Amino acid sequence: MNEHQRSILLHSASRFSPPPGVKLSYGTAGFRADASLLESTVFRVGILAALRSIQTRSVTGLMITASHNQESDNGVKVADPSGGMLSQHWEPFADALTNAADPNTLLQLMDDFATKEKISLEGAYGGEVLLARDTRPSGVFLAEAAKQGITSIMGVSATDMGVMTTPQLHWMVRSRNNGMEASEHNYYDQLSSSFRCLMEYIPQGNRNNIVNDKLIVDGSDGVGGEKLEILKKMLSDLSIDVRNRGDGVLNEGVGADFVQKEKVVPRGFGPVDVGFRCASLDGDADRLVYFSIQSNSNKIVLVDGDKILSLFALFIKEQLNILTEEENGKVNKSYQARLGVVQTAYANGASTHYLKQLGLEVVFTPTGVKYLHEKASEYDIGIYFEANGHGTILFSESFLCWLEGKNNELSSTSKGSEQPKAALRLLAVSKLINQAVGDSLSGLLLVEAILKHMGWSMLIWNELYHDLPSKQLKVKVVDRTAVSTANAETVVVRPVGIQDAINAETAKYPQGRCFIRPSGTEDVIRVYAEASSQEAADSLANSVARLVDRFLGFNATE
């Protein structure tokens, strides 16, 4: 690092001192805390995003959001050149950079890391970081801190994209690095045109089906509702009523996280909405759940991420079957796309059983989108969703190339058959779904198109399978690292003996399943239990929580 660069950094860093006694850790959500504590962190993540841009010679992104957290919180995370999350290899550096006590320590860390990773800090490469924020008031001053961090690295520019959803920023980073135009208008245009393509190829018999055209969407009083208002004007085949568009408090009694966890009607909805298809976005629009309101009740029928995954998997498997079926009914083995479904241990056991009954390959990863996304990328088509409504579909480049070729071949030889339509549907899905990250707007449009294609109401969709009753608890501990797990967090390897005790307890309950895992953010051990009845699931969870308390010495709390 030359003296000029050192001088710039020392001057900038001296204006953003880390709050005393605060130590943050970079996780799936990036850094997240009360907004008043984050100015120094966001400045330093700006530096990190700039360094990543220089190293990869690509555009990176920086998003200021706390997603489904309360409005007083905020957070910051980096979008890698792929459009995905920051490389896990960089996470320890992110922690060290953020928690450096003073500017000189900060510079020494940067020098050491730049040398190790062969990153030039001489301003030779004109890096670029796309910067965006959600609708939180604190995002304004935090965005300024981010700009200061980004531009303190010589030769790197900060392009302020303004208020956006998290998935929009990730989509733009991915598109820019793939040589495509990447404005907000381009995003809306790709989603709307792909949606229209899917609607055009709905089977003739399902065009006048039982799906009610009206969809009511809870925007969580965040950025998603605001953006959906723009997008819906480009959709002629779907009537969308957007509620909670910013008049109330962000994520307070509204949003996908609230609806999924509490299973009650969000603010702004009531008895007049009984019978309609409803959906909830979260604060930064990367989660999506559906629900319907029960008559004379504040309760809802929840259709969560597991059911969304099942709907997507069923549709894609159907299209692949059409593509590979020959006229005599035999399967064409010239190209068999590998379709994989990726879940975590938190996926309801009934969903896993249903997917396996379809003949699908189902694999598990540890909890966290970064693990799900990485595993899904190993397939020709990889689908992942968490029950909380965050997920997407990934298509390999080799499969898309094959599909393009197959589409050209079928267009000339199989006119009028379903095969060219199946190829076009899959191509449209690959453009409609946001392959960079979970996106509630693109996911919502894909759900709507598939329901139309199937001719299904929400009731029929929800009847694909019935969730097993479940219960989650958490147990406070002094040190969560006292518990370590294996097999995608389903088996405890330490402390010795607790897994045998959990197995013995689980065996007492019909359809029992239970696992524990350390939290990634706080000193608690999380307990998840399933059983054939809610009473049994509650009992199993409480029994295992007591085991954890016995082994580690603290009391369970919900």
Q: Determine whether 152 is an active site residue.
A: no
Consult the annotation and say whether 519 binds a ligand.
yes
Q: What is the pLDDT of residues 225-248, one digit of tens each?
A: 999 999 999 998 899 999 999 999
Consult the annotation and say whether 521 binds a ligand.
yes
Consult the annotation and say whether 520 binds a ligand.
yes
Residue 355 gets which letter from DSSP?
Answer: H
Q: Which of 90-104, 118-132, 269-283, 427-441 has the lowest mean pLDDT?
A: 118-132
Q: What is the pLDDT of residues 343-379, one digit of tens each?
A: 999 999 999 999 999 999 999 999 989 999 999 999 9
pLDDT above 60: residue 158 = yes
Pick from 487, 505, 512, 510: nearest CA to 551: 505
Which domains, ranges and CATH numbers included, belong to the chain?
Answer: 3-179 (3.40.120.10), 306-416+425-433 (3.40.120), 470-557 (3.30.310.50)
Q: With bands split at pLDDT 50, 70 and 90, how would you rate the model's confidence at 519?
A: confident
Q: For residue 206, what pLDDT is reported?
A: 66
Helix (H) or strand (E) holding 107: helix 103-117
Q: What is the pLDDT of residues 204-219, one digit of tens each?
A: 766 666 556 799 999 9
Q: For residue 418, what pLDDT is reported?
A: 87
Alpha carbon of residue 208 to chain centroid: 33
Q: For residue 329, what pLDDT is reported?
A: 55
Mean local confidence (pLDDT), 287-312:
95
Consult the annotation and say whether 518 binds a ligand.
yes
Consult the annotation and say whether 284 binds a ligand.
yes
Q: For residue 333, what pLDDT is reported?
A: 58
Instruction: Give DSSP secondary structure letters for 9-75.
Output: HHHHHTTSPPPTT-----BTTBEEEEGGG-HHHHHHHHHHHHHHHHHHTSEEEEEE--TTS-TTEEE
Pick from 397, 429, 409: nearest CA to 316: 429
Consult the annotation and say whether 517 binds a ligand.
yes
Neighbours of 167 (CB within 10 A): 27
Q: What is the pLDDT of residues 449-475, one digit of tens each?
A: 999 999 999 999 999 999 999 999 999
Q: With bands split at pLDDT 50, 70 and 90, how would you rate the model's confidence at 556?
A: very low
Consult the annotation and say whether 388 binds a ligand.
yes
Q: What percent of the chain has pLDDT over 90?
A: 84
Average pLDDT, the chain: 93
Output the six-digit token pair for 529: 């239990």
Q: For residue 53, what pLDDT is reported?
A: 96
Q: Active site residue: 12, 40, 53, 67, which one?
A: 67
Consult the annotation and say whether 286 binds a ligand.
yes
Q: With bands split at pLDDT 50, 70 and 90, how would you rate the model's confidence at 415?
A: low
Mean local confidence (pLDDT), 496-514:
96
Distance CA 462, CA 471 (A): 20
Q: With bands split at pLDDT 50, 70 and 90, how would you rate the model's confidence at 557?
A: very low
Q: With bands split at pLDDT 50, 70 and 90, how would you rate the model's confidence at 413?
A: confident
Consult the annotation and say whether 467 binds a ligand.
no
